[in-house]
Amino acid sequence: MVAGLPGAGKTTLVAAEPHALDSDALREAWAPRLPGVPYALWRPLVHAWHWLAIWRATGRPEGVILVRPFTTGWLRRAVLSRARRHHPAVHLVVVDATPEQARAGQRARGRTVGERAMRRHERRWARADLAHEPWTTVTRVPARPRAYRRDRREVWGNTRREAIQPA
């Protein structure tokens, strides 16, 4: 799983990964079919479809990379629990961005999260106690999209270790 604040660089990190389930990719796939319809009207459908895809993927034996903010603790733990039932190892990669970096990332991509929603994500992420969740590994990567090409092998290599890493 790849998690972090909206705009942190999660999508950039997984851009070259063919087995990544990312709501941004889903949005891009649906956009040509809905020309002229504001995204705000069909965003709930994209997110509902993405959650359904995540739920289905975690129940299959094939590996997959899930991309969400995962700031809501009970949702993160529910997906983790389901994945642990079907996979021997479940890894978390956290794109560690400050709120300022995440907001800059949102502006760069041309889509921003509302201020109230962003503050909610920030509060939830600040309270996340990943060290007490049963991840196989937790790997933190800095919010440095330009460096991801170089670091990608190292990031995914870290998720193959079996020892639990401190958050």
**Res 151: pLDDT:** 52
Alpha-carbon gap, residue 101 to 96, rounded angstroms: 9
Which strands make up the sheet holding 65-67, listed edge to edge? 20-22, 65-67, 2-3, 91-96, 137-142
Residue ranges and CATH numbers for the domains of the chain are: 2-158 (3.40.50.300)
pLDDT above 90 (res 122): yes
Give me the long-range contacts of 32-35 (CB less than 8 A, separation at least 24). Answer: none
3-state secondary structure of 3: strand
Distances (CA, A) of 14 to 2, 3, 99, 118: 8, 11, 20, 22
Structure-block tokens of residue 117: 């929603």
Mean pLDDT estimate for the chain: 86
Structure-block tokens of residue 111: 């889509």
Alpha helices in 15-163 (DSSP H): 23-30, 39-58, 73-86, 99-109, 115-127, 148-158
**Res 167: pLDDT:** 36
**Res 109: pLDDT:** 85
pLDDT digits (tens, 9 = 90+) for 38-77: 988 998 999 999 999 999 999 998 889 999 999 999 999 9
Instruction: Tell me the average pLDDT across 120-132.
Output: 94
- pTM attached to this predicted model: 0.82
Distances (CA, A) of 153 to 7, 12, 158: 22, 14, 9
pLDDT digits (tens, 9 = 90+) for 100-118: 999 999 998 888 899 999 9
Q: How confident is the model at residue 138 (pLDDT cuts 50, 70, 90)?
A: very high
Alpha-carbon gap, residue 4 to 94, rounded angstroms: 6
pLDDT above 70 (res 157): no
